[in-house]
Chain A
Amino acid sequence: MHFKVTFLTISRHNLLGIRMIDVQHVTKRYGNATALDDVSFSINKGEIVAFLGPNGAGKTTTMRILTGFMPPTMGTVRIAGFDCLETPWEVKKHIGYLPETPPLYLELTVTEYLTFVGRIKRLSEDQLIERMDTIITQTGLADVRGRVIGHLSRGYRQRVGLAQALLHNPPVLILDEPTTGLDPNQIIEIRELIKSLAGSHTIILSTHLLAEATAICQRVIIIHRGRIVAVDTPEQLGAKLRESETLSLTVKQFDPDLLEALHHIPGVIRVSQGVTAHTYLLDTQMGRDIREELTQLVVSRNVGLLELKTQTLTLEDAFKVLTQTNTPSGPGISTPDGPH
């Protein structure tokens, strides 16, 4: 049994060769405090994955370990097949990293800064000239390329930071809260930019904005107090959290017998009164669509159907549920390896 499992893992890795980020049992301690506790996950080529968690959950620590900036206390990290501790040089060539605070030299102009970055990323002069123009257009920095970074606004600085991470066209991008401090329009632009990089790049980004994770990511890793509490797609995460689906029904006239009648629809588990006497909440069995029978019943009783909607649990709810429970595993959703 044991051998079978091992074989499967190896063959998947070798045949497809698509695991760009592979984190196995990583623990990080600062003195006595444990920042990361046995964290394992992997990200395939071309995926965009969000790292979600409250402040102090261990997002930045994980990212710093991924970049090779910081060694883990225990465990292994492989980027594009290279071990972070054994071959840090190769790892550094394969990643673009945008830290929480963009690492900018305020006294340099945008062009000077990007030239410097290109050179320490070991681009040749020709590559540098070519990439510089591409990246400046891509990140919308054309208007400010000659200006001193210290004089730029927060939004532009963030873009310069992003340009820095993208400059040497790395296959793996590690972005620590890439959209903080931007105005709504800029956020949309940056998100579009990140989305456009998917496929050719493997991207892991941290955020505490749930909307952001849903908007651009294929998978979400929820981390809380240094532990991974869930790994899944934004939609499935919500679905898995619910044992049942809830329908909300609002009628015009109050009918004392309706409550009883609703109970008799097959598939209904529980009926409860909503906010007003005219609203009913129906918990139904998973995968059983009772909306048709329900409307027929309501129409036949002639009470005036006003509204019928399914209540979906958003990622926001999932997040709250997962991070506030003391047991680290949510209801049946602790799969460190994702759905693949």
Chain B
Amino acid sequence: MTPVHTIVAKELRSAFVSPVVYVIAAIFLAIVGLLAYSAAANASNQAIRLMQIQNTYAQLNLNDMLFRPLFRSINLILMIILPLLTMRLFAEERKLRTFELLLTSPIGVNEIVSGKFMSVIIVYSGLLSLTSLIPITLSAYATFDWRPIYLGYVALFLQGALLISIGLFASALTENQIIAAFLSFGCILGLWMLGALGGIVGDTTIGHILSYLSFSEHYERLIRGLFNLKDILYYVSGIAFMWFAAHQAVDAYRWK
């Protein structure tokens, strides 16, 4: 086992003995399920109404009516629940003084940070794969374009990874889990607001920079089914930057 595997295995073990993961998973899946159900019910209502008016089979775009709004809502839910998944990563180690064990062992800070990051990614991927039941079930009753769905999941994965890396960094800054959670809420909210600010500033250089920095436009493009390397690059560089920041924060802890 490499050190990263060891850290991942330990983190997963710790995550699944605490009720936090189960509670978060239950809330997440319940909300996503409810949203999907209400969107599907709404779509079928409209289809029935259209059928009554036009007296033929209705042609409704499920991608527009269901999946895109659903992906937008999931993003909002992620912004709330992912900081709760990441808050304990380093904060708990600092509180329990186990950080001293990690930092005095022949294991690199990069391995510790990567291991912790990957463990949450695994939990998150598990959650995400459970939501795939929604398009799979719907595909039995309706036809829709799969491409935006695939890209939507890519977007969800990248968006989640970005939020997790922000949470990872926030957790490395404090030994209080609540503060860590609020720090990452703050960062995420700030990043989100940058997009809105970019919209207000409008079609200027500053406006473009602001909206580029925010995840909103990149996420939106991907869930529309538009593949653009620029957007992928945004996420990858954002995750890399936050990973590096977390690495620095962990390293800096020793110098205090």
Contacts and interface: CB of A to CB of B under 8 A. Distances in A.
A116 B6 contact: yes
B100 A119 contact: no
Given A71-B254, A117-B101, A89 B17 contact: no
Contact of A104 (B96, B99, B107): B96
Nearest to A107: B17
B6 A120 contact: yes
B18 A107 contact: yes
Contact of B14 (A92, A101, A108, A121): A108
Interface in A92-128: 92-93, 95, 97, 99-108, 112, 116-117, 119-122, 125
A74 to B, nearest CB: 14
B14 A70 contact: no
Interface string B93-134: 000111111111111000000000000000000000000000
Q: How large is the interface on A (under 10, 10 to 19, 20 to 34, 35 or more residues)?
A: 20 to 34
Contacts of B99: 103
A89 B108 CA distance: 9
A112 B12 CA distance: 13
Nearest to B100: A99
A164 interface: yes
Nearest to B2: A119
B14 A120 contact: no
Contact of A164 (B7, B18, B97, B101): B101
14 contacts: A97-B101, A101-B96, A103-B99, A104-B96, A105-B10, A107-B14, A119-B3, A119-B6, A120-B6, A120-B7, A120-B105, A120-B106, A120-B107, A121-B105
B92 to A, nearest CB: 9
A95 B104 CA distance: 8
Interface in A282-298: none
B255 A70 contact: yes
Secondary structure call for the B interface: helix
Given A71-B254, A104-B98, 16 more contacts: A64-B100, A70-B254, A95-B104, A97-B104, A103-B97, A103-B100, A105-B98, A108-B10, A112-B13, A116-B6, A116-B9, A116-B10, A119-B6, A120-B101, A121-B106, A122-B3
B23 interface: no
A67 interface: yes
B1 interface: yes
Nearest to B103: A69
A71 B255 contact: yes
B174 to A, nearest CB: 18
Contacts of B14: 105, 107-108
A67 B6 CA distance: 22
Nearest to A70: B254
Contacts of B103: 69
A92 B105 contact: yes
A116 B255 CA distance: 26
Contacts of B98: 103-105
A106 B6 contact: no
Interface in A240-268: none
Nearest to B10: A116
B83 to A, nearest CB: 21
Nearest to A106: B96
Interface string B48-79: 00000000000000000000000000000000
Contacts of A234: none
A178 interface: no
B167 to A, nearest CB: 20
A97 B100 contact: yes
A106 B18 CA distance: 11
A69 B100 contact: yes
A104 B6 CA distance: 16
B58 to A, nearest CB: 54
B106 A101 contact: no
Nearest to A97: B104
A68 interface: yes
A176 to B, nearest CB: 10
Contacts of B1: 119, 125
A271 B61 CA distance: 110
Nearest to B18: A107
4 shortest A-B CB distances, which residue pairs?
Answer: A103-B101, A119-B6, A103-B98, A92-B106
B104 A69 contact: yes
Contacts of B107: 120, 122
Nearest to B97: A101
A31 to B, nearest CB: 10
Nearest to A122: B106
A120 B9 CA distance: 12
Contacts of A92: 104-106
B15 to A, nearest CB: 9
A116 B107 CA distance: 12
A337 B13 CA distance: 48
A198 B7 CA distance: 33
